[in-house]
Structure 1
Amino acid sequence: MSEPNEPAGDELSTDESLGTVYLVGSGPGDPELLTVKATRLLEEADVVLHDKLPGPEILDSIPEDKREDVGKRAGGERTEQADINARLVELAEEGRDVVRLKGGDPFVFGRGGEEMVYLADHDVPFEVVPGITSAVAAPAAADIPVTHREHASSVSFVTGHEDPTKDGSAVDWRALADTGGTIVVLMGVGKLPEYTQELVNAGMDPETPVALIEKGTRPGQRVARGTLDTIVDARDDAGIEPPAVTVIGGVAGVPEVLE
């Protein structure tokens, strides 16, 4: 963590006219799962730059005149990351304290690491405020433990939406299949057919339980269940849409014993 007004790096800024940027995780969407610190910073901030993922109740609690929507949607409207980075520096140089509000945790597939490095490179004071990641919270809200002594002693978090400018996928699905344990995929609704087939091709049992949790912890939460072989049809039948979390492994079948 970089102390407020002390950016990380070899040289610390002594410019007291600079504002501080807080990289804040908003949690999975339920406003009661927002941390006490995040709540305080939202109240105190001069400006809040937010993604699409924080729950609407959280966003509605922020005065409209200090909110800036810099969110992204796969295949839809988006604010380029370079523009977000530049805006954070611009606001801090104006002396304003900024909350950069992200869904879940800022360092779990949230580009918080990129923004932190950019701020440090520009000698802007920052602080990272962790949030509850939906990779754990959404399954929990659906009564799915990501680890369980009888089913999984490890858990792997995977993005289903990689940087499109990369030459290829950095996700080794074969290695994940061999590792065992639970696989949690964030932002993976659209590519569900591809990676479930990759896992089957890598030797994972087609009958492995799978669950899709849409809007986990929020009003309107829905869950579709199936196996690697059937989950795509279950997704289509239920009309599951982003934001949703995919849970693959024996733990996804645990809720069945509760029914």
Structure 2
Amino acid sequence: MNTNTGKVTLLSAGPGDLDLLTLKAVKALAAADVVLLDDLANPDIVTLAPQARVIRVGKRGGCRSTPQAFIERMMRRYALKGLHVVRVKGGEALLFGRAGEEIAILRDAGIALDIVNGISSGFAAAAGLGISLTHRRHCHGVTFVTAHTEDHGEPDWAALAATRTTLAIYMGMRRIGSIAAALLASLPADTPAAVVQWAGAIAERRLLTRLDRLAADAVDAGFDSPAVILVGDAIGESVEAEYGAAAGALTAVDKADDGVVAQAA
């Protein structure tokens, strides 16, 4: 490793609530010379890095994004100048955040690297719904999956449904119709489902529904990215807690005051 270089910290900013940052994250920000700020992170996070130069490098599905190669060049360039670069990523940096590519680039350049973990939006969504993703009454695990692969293909939804785990689906809103249809080939129509938009942030919205109405209800309620789709029997615990009814037994309810929308056939 080149001892004359600076270093890079891959920092997980969590779901948006700055109170959920780790102490390690706060210390890294305070020591940063350069902050490369992800579009999904709370922009107020820069107040914790008062001496840093802030460069916004947003990456959003379906929107104009900063090219990944440019971000990697920026990290390498400033670190090789001896600076401490903090690459701020929304959620958990190691989960669907292209961290693997950035780690490889930095290692190849001999640049020191720290990784700071954070709360992924899937966990924040579960917290907002007041459920356990691995409730032992309903499942034996949870599967985190992205709705599209590098080659723009889709996961094997039938195989995922067969696991009988809670499915936490990231980056799936543009394909929510095809996702629901694929899962319905293997799961019952009344399987509890939810969409949580801006999980863990002040603007959080939550939709409780069932699998056969998932796509229609999400569209009708105006849900969009960034959002996490949750599917599985464990999601029914949120419906029971909120409304004293099993998933699918609800009439339509709109709780605009707390951002919860419940729909049923």
Q: Could you state the TM-score of these two structures normalised by the residue count of structure 2?
A: 0.87
SS at match of 1:191: helix
SS at match of 1:137: helix
| Residue number in structure 2 paired with 1:168 | 153
- Displacement of 1:76 in angstroms is 1.5
Query: Whole-Å Cα distance in 2 between the matches of residues 110 and 48 of structure 1?
Result: 17
| Structure 1 residues 78 and 132: CA distance shift in structure 2, 3 A | same
Q: Say yes or no: does 1:250 pair with 2:237.
A: no
Kindly indicate whether the alpha-carbon contact (under 8 Å) linking 1:151 and 1:251 is maintained by their aligned counterparts in 2.
yes
Kindly indicate whether the alpha-carbon contact (under 8 Å) linking 1:28 and 1:138 is maintained by their aligned counterparts in 2.
no
Higher relative contact order (CA 8 A, sep 6+): 1
SS at match of 1:92: helix
Select 2:44's aligned residue among 57, 70, 76.
57
- Residues matched between the structures, number: 242
Query: Whole-Å Cα distance in 1 between the matches of residues 148 and 12 of structure 2?
Result: 19
SS at match of 1:247: strand
Q: Say yes or no: does 1:192 pair with 2:179.
A: no
Query: Whole-Å Cα distance in 2 between the matches of residues 56 and 147 of structure 1?
Result: 32
| Residue number in structure 2 paired with 1:239 | 222
- Displacement of 1:83 in angstroms is 1.1
SS at match of 2:212: coil
Which 5+ residue runs of structure 1 have no aligned equivalent?
A: 1-12
Select 2:198's aligned residue among 194, 205, 215.
215
Q: 1:211-232: per-residue Cα shift (whole Å, max 9, x none)?
A: 0011111112111121111011
The amino acid across from 1:168 in the alignment is G
Select 2:3's aligned residue among 7, 16, 21.
16
Q: Could you state the TM-score of these two structures normalised by the residue count of structure 1?
A: 0.89
Q: 1:1-259, aligned counterparts within 5 Å? A: 13=1, 15-59=2-46, 61-63=48-50, 66-163=53-150, 166=151, 168-169=153-154, 171-201=155-185, 203-259=186-242
| Structure 1 residues 57 and 138: CA distance shift in structure 2, 3 A | farther
- Displacement of 1:56 in angstroms is 3.1
Which 5+ residue runs of structure 2 have no aligned equivalent?
A: 243-265
Query: Whole-Å Cα distance in 2 between the matches of residues 145 and 189 of structure 1?
Result: 23
Seq. identity, %? 38
Aligned-CA RMSD value: 1.6
| Structure 1 residues 150 and 241: CA distance shift in structure 2, 3 A | same
